[in-house]
Amino acid sequence: MQYQKSLVWFRRDLRDYDHAALYHALKTSSQVYCAFVFDTDILDQLHDKHDRRVEFIWESVRELKAALMAKGGDLIVLYGRAEHEIPDIAHHLGVQAVSVNHDYEPSAIARDAHVATQLKQNNIAFQHYKDHVIFEKDEVLTMAGKPYGVFTPYKNMWLKTINDFYIKPYAVDTYSSHLAKTTLTEIPSLSNMGFEKTNLSSMRLPTGMQGGLTLFNEFKERMSRYKDARDFPAIKGVSYLSVHLRFGTISIRHLVREALLEANTGAQTWLSELIWRDFYVQILHHHPRIATGHAYKSEYEALPFPNDQALFQAWCDGKTGYPLVDAAMRQLNTTGFMHNRLRMVAASFLVKDLLIDWRWGERYFADKLIDFDFSANNGGWQWAASTGCDAQPWFRIFNPITQSERFDTQGKFIRKYVPELAQCHDKEIHAPWLIPPLRLQLLNLSIGIDYPAPIVDHATQRALVLSLYKENSGPENATVVND
């Protein structure tokens, strides 16, 4: 054995199987302790103390602790500044090494560097491994050795590079007898950390490792239909695994392996979404400036958006007068989740209809999304705003009515989250302000009272945003696309 004692620091990898850092620590150490820190450097930034993410983590940590105990080990759960707590507990336990899986956000990299420095002062090794993605950093580069900035060539090279080695599971159980027990058994309660329970338990979103596997096994039955079903929010078309990937309660290697085995168009399309995840992580690695509010395309760094606060608030509240946008925002506010097609629609509407800086929307999603992941959220917002890598061109503008008619044709999703429009016919519900007055009387619906009138006119705003981008992007021959 290389070490007598080691410590595995769990972060966004809350599972006890196919776990790189845990596997390597168990393989090289006689005794392995496990720890998780509710990091106050992160928690203190969360202003809403009814945060579903904290509750999801808490439930998943509780399950992980029980699973490790069943294997003869335990999970030490701490509350405080991770950059202090980890060096302190490592010193207290007398370990010779601390093992972690990579975290790619600049603030996490800085935190880990600080921890590594403290550990080194006590002659404790700091070992880190790839676990959260299939390919990271410089593993997928162009033939010229440069990072990709366009997805499709990246995806093609990703698919050329993938083989069984990269998706082989880490056999944690082979060495689980090396797990160490501990007397530090208390888990701080949500209330002791200043948080309260949310509506998470009433949502059909199971937590922890078992929750992730349950969702995936259910999704496998309909994976072949993913390509055709994924764009329609009223039907069960997506996997709902994003939060489990975010917190590592399911293994990315397991998901990619299964997608490759399925080998149908649905599975191939879903695999592309998993590759997008890798793509955005490597974009963050090579362009860390995007983590400080910078546009990927520097020419769009300072677009002069009017940034009307009242329009922004209406968007946040789901009161724009455009039913699909409002339904999307109400889903987010109610559940912490938003369907991927709706993320594109809502983001496009904020930037290109309301003329509000994409960073405002990025921050709002960061506060509300239960599956918030910086690289994917930033990538999605910059895609919608045409400021990012491989983004939609600035002259492509989603039409919120057309999107509604195309992807919620019968208005089922709208009716769920905008019940004041529930009595409208399928053809009426997408643009209720166009319903004739007599028909509105029959529906007992007053536009502007029961449901907002549109806060902007799409055609007018389209002309304004085209002018804004054109004046600030230089001459470009383009055909306006109004999706």
3-state SS string for the chain: CCEEEEEEEECCCCCCCCCHHHHHHHHHEEEEEEEEEEEHHHHCCCCCCCCHHHHHHHHHHHHHHHHHHHCCCCCEEEEECHHHHHHHHHHHHCCCEEEEECCCCHHHHHHHHHHHHHHHHCCCEEEEECCCCCCCCCCCCCCCCCCCCCHHHHHHHHHHHCCHHHHCCCCHHHHHHHECCCCCCCCCCCHHHCCCCCCHHHCCCCCHHHHHHHHHHHHHCCHHHHHHHCCCCCCCCCCCCHHHHHCCCCCHHHHHHHHHHHCCHHHHHHHHHHHHHHHHHHHHHHCHHHHHCCCCCHHHCCCCCCCCHHHHHHHHHCCCCCHHHHHHHHHHHHHCCCCHHHHHHHHHHHHHHCCCCHHHHHHHHHHHCCCCCHHHHHHHHHHHHCCCCCCCCCCEECCHHHHHHHHCCCCHHHHHHCHHHCCCCCCCCCCHHHCCHHHHHHHCCCECCCECCCCCCHHHHHHHHHHHHHHHHCCCCCCCEEC
Residues 6+ apart with CB under 8 A from 280: 375, 376, 378, 379
- The answer to whether the beta carbons of residues 241 and 248 sit under 8 Å apart is no
Q: How far apart are CA 303 and CA 296, in angstroms?
A: 13
Domain-wise residue ranges, the chain: 3-131, 133-169+209-286, 298-482
CATH 1.25.40.80 fits 133-169+209-286, yes or no: yes
| Domain 298-482 in this protein, CATH class | mainly alpha
**What's the per-residue H, E or C state across 227-285?**
HHHCCCCCCCCCCCCHHHHHCCCCCHHHHHHHHHHHCCHHHHHHHHHHHHHHHHHHHHH
The correct CATH number of 3-131 out of 1.10.167.10, 3.40.50.720, 3.40.50.620, 3.30.70.260 is 3.40.50.620
Q: What is the value of pTM for the model shown?
A: 0.95
How confident is the prediction along the chain (483 residues), in pLDDT tens digits per residue?
A: 799 999 999 999 999 999 999 999 999 999 999 999 999 999 999 999 999 999 999 999 999 999 999 999 999 999 999 999 999 999 999 999 999 999 999 999 999 999 999 999 999 999 999 999 999 999 999 999 999 999 999 999 999 999 999 999 999 999 999 999 998 778 999 999 999 999 999 998 999 999 999 999 999 999 999 999 999 999 999 999 999 999 999 999 999 999 999 989 999 999 999 999 999 999 999 999 999 999 999 999 999 999 999 999 999 999 999 999 999 999 999 999 999 999 999 999 999 999 999 999 999 999 999 999 999 999 999 999 999 998 778 888 999 999 999 999 999 999 999 999 999 999 999 999 999 999 999 999 999 999 999 999 999 999 999 999 988 875 444 444 556
Residue 483 has what pLDDT?
65
CA distance 170 to 18: 4
